[in-house]
Amino acid sequence: MNSRGSFSSHYQSQKRYRETRTAERYETSENVNPNGNIVSAFSSLDGTNYARLHALKNNVYNFPFNQSATLTFTHIQPDPYAPGSQLCVTVPLPQFLSVTALLSPYSGTISNLASACKMKRDHYFELVKWHCRVAVEDFLLRSLWKGLREYHRSGNIQLLKPSQHVLPRSSVAITTDAIQIFLRVKLPGQGRRIDSQACLRILTKELQPAIQHKVCVLDECEVQRHVTSVLDQVWLREQLQPNDLVAFVRDGAVLPRAAGDSDLPMDNAVLFKSPHSLNRVFKLPFSGTSITGMGLPKGITLITGGGFHGKSTLLRSLELGVYNHLPDDGRTFVVIDPTGVKIRAEDRRSIQGVDISPFINNLPFKKDTTAFTTDDASGSTSQAANIIEALEFGCTAILLDEDTSATNFMYRDTLMQKLVPRELEPITPFVETVRGLFTQHSVSTIMVVGGSGQYLSRADLVLMMNSYTISDVTSKAKELAAAEEQLHVEKEKSKSDEQDIKEEMPCGSRSYVESAPLIKIPLKRHLDYGGTFNWTWNKNGRDFVKISGTGMNIIRVDDETIHLDLVEQLVEEGQVNAIAQCLALLRDDGAATTEEVQSRPAKSYPGQGRSNNNRDDQLTSRWCYPSLIDSFLTFQPGDYSHLSQLVFHCESRLRQAALECQTKSCYLPRGFTTLPRVFEIGAALNRLRTLSTYRR
């Protein structure tokens, strides 16, 4: 076995050496004009050895339609059957598309907003510029996709596909005077020979017209509308905190989607209309229009109603409110606290060293729940771990749906308490802790319930969905809960005195005004770097392993697979690719990263604390994308665990590298990453089955 591995390593080394020498030889070829027309460059190579394509690398070529539109190959595939060649298309930036020009009408507005949030105008302006830039890059990417759908026939062009959300991506970048587009093109051949005609057909008949008609020609009004919508959504989300809201849903929103496999809005859907008691009005500063909608206050909110009446649809729209939406998505101005995390049961997931004792204790055989570890979690233990892990990264809003929750974790009725005494039940139902999470830790909960009334007495707000129409039924729910409690008291009066009644009262019947049990959020986990990654070192004679994202729900760490199917707030493949880069950074640079985290003052971490200085520090780097959640985190600097500090550090490094944090173990072509939140990065790390942690 060892000799086979040694032979394989030697063979791979020799193969890389030969490929490098071949590439170097042809890169210096004098037969290819290093700067010129792309047509003449390919025509001169027709029918020659495929390796001669390396002569095109890093040279700048013009498109026939415009001498200012250029193409540069940054990587050439070694043969026709390998992954596509990487290229960068550069076109001049129209004057109206510059960030300065787009924001010039809002100069006074930006100054007023900076004063309102007590930030320096220059720093606030930089933050607005970044959001504007993200919006413009998003618009350009979507325009190019429209062009490729019209002209692309061969299937040889690969470009990051955007979702219905406006997110920072690496596929399009605007500079002071140019638009850069990063993509892959699979260059065909005839056997091992260059097929110039087929290559030019892709570049000049498919890619070129898409660039020419969809990127170089833009509707200025549509661009401005897109940018204004994004800036207003960012502003609206920032208004949740000072208005003591956890979420807002605009009147007229289209929440249902076209199909189960589509994120497009449904035609002829019932438009959302806010209950009068929850109606809020906001004047959007960039568009100048006023919108009305439902403001959900901080606390415990229940969404109830009959089956198929829209409860889960509303919750799904809220959980995706952490992202900005397209102007025509239907969910525009449906926003939520950016630290909101959707929680669900996740049977069979791996849990490593998580303190789930606030929810589960006294397991059989004295299994420790203060550092709970399992490779095959149950529904209740997985849901408890998911909550603790989210809180570890600063989550202040939890979203749950009883359909995807563990029943024994959520409820425990009177009869079951009598049959199974409390001292024999390890699980403390969430109904007993949900109030304490809010009163003691300011963690709000939005929950879909329809099968039990045990949460009614705990709730601050109860909403009912009826045929996708929402109403506030809090008063009625409280009356019913109080009547049920009184009935229970009267039934038990003959058996015990009032104190005994309170002790035996079922968890669903206790009044919400009673003091909740003390809940301590444990944040003591440290990453055991050696225990987590030592198995990957010197494997088959290499000092790296392959870490890559696959689709929307899988990350591969060598032969280990991380399943992200049930991490429901991931919306793009690019986010999975970016998370893979973060895990590779931890693996390849983990020791140095740990030392840096331990030596750097905690207050300098992105997102920690609430001071304006922390936020200003993030904008000092020209290429640093703004954090998606920093201004909403409420933890103090010392409250973060070592593991969460590492994840924050990786997310910061990713932003500083313009979403291109490449290492030996994860080399992705530029243009295929999307910015994730720290919660999803942490979720992937926590699901790595070789993860090892310890407590101090």
Predicted confidence (pLDDT) per residue in 393-435, tens digit: 999 999 999 999 999 999 998 888 889 988 889 999 999 999 9
pLDDT score for 595:
66
Mean pLDDT of all residues in 53-72: 92
Rounded distance, CA 298 to CA 339, Å? 13
* Tokens found for residue 255: 């929440």
Query: Among 431-435, 445-449, 666-670, where is mean pLDDT lowest?
Result: 666-670
Give the pLDDT score at 185: 97
- Of 340, 332, 348, the closest CA to residue 398 belongs to 340
pLDDT tens digits along 78-135: 999 999 999 999 999 999 999 999 999 999 999 999 998 888 888 889 899 999 999 9
pLDDT > 60? residue 22: no
pLDDT band at 632 (very low <50, low <70, confident <90, very high): low
- Residue 343 in tokens: 């929680």
Cα 178 to Cα 544: distance, rounded to the nearest angstrom: 36
Q: If we measure between CA atoms, which residue out of 215, 199, 224 comes closest to residue 48?
A: 199
Give the confidence band of 631 by pLDDT, cuts at 50, 70, 90. Answer: low
Average pLDDT over residues 644-656: 90
Unique residue bearing structure tokens 């019947």: 509
Residue 406, pLDDT score: 97
Nearest-angstrom CA–CA distance, 606 and 340: 18
The DSSP element (H or E) to which 280 belongs, if any, is: strand 279-283
User: Sign of the C-alpha dihedral, residues 171, 656, 392, 461?
Assistant: negative
Residue 521: enclosing H or E segment and its boundaries?
A: none
The owner of tokens 């998911």 is 386
Domain coordinates in residue numbering, the chain: 23-218, 340-504, 525-695
**31-55 pLDDT tens trace:** 455 667 899 999 999 999 999 999 9
What is the SS3 assignment for 601? coil
The lowest-confidence range among 59-68, 261-270, 357-366, 504-513 is 504-513
514: confidence class by pLDDT, cuts 50, 70, 90: very low
Contact 314, 371 (CB under 8 A): no
Specify the pLDDT at position 67: 83
- The 3-class secondary structure across 236-259, one letter per residue, is HHHCCCCCCEEEEEECCCCCCEEE
Strand-pairing partners, residue 85, are 185
Q: 523 pLDDT exceeds 80?
A: no
What mean pLDDT value characterizes the chain?
Answer: 86
The percentage of residues in the chain with a pLDDT greater than 90, rounded to a whole number, is 68
Residue 360, both tokens:
């589960």
The residue with greater pLDDT, 162 or 593, is 162
Q: How confident is the model at residue 14 (pLDDT cuts 50, 70, 90)?
A: low
pLDDT digits (tens, 9 = 90+) for 306-360: 999 999 999 999 999 999 999 999 999 999 999 999 999 999 999 999 999 999 9
150 pLDDT band (50/70/90 cuts)?
A: very high
Distance (Å, whole) CA 343 – CA 345: 7
Please say if the pLDDT value at position 381 is more than 80: yes
Q: Of the ranges 462-471, 532-541, 668-677, which is most confident?
A: 462-471
Residues 550, 166, 626, 575: what is their CA dihedral angle, to the nearest 10 degrees? -10
Look up the pTM and report it.
Answer: 0.89
Sequence-ordered list of residues with C-beta below 8 angstroms from that of 361, at least 6 positions apart, any chain: 369, 426, 428
Residue 505 has pLDDT above 50, yes or no: no
Question: What's CA 542's distance to the chain center, in Å?
Answer: 32
Contacts of 424 (CB under 8 A, 6+ apart): none
Q: Are 402 and 408 contacting, i.e. CB atoms less than 8 angstroms apart?
A: no
Q: What's the confidence (pLDDT) of residue 7?
A: 42
- pLDDT tier at 599 (50, 70, 90 boundaries)? low
pLDDT at 576 over 90: yes
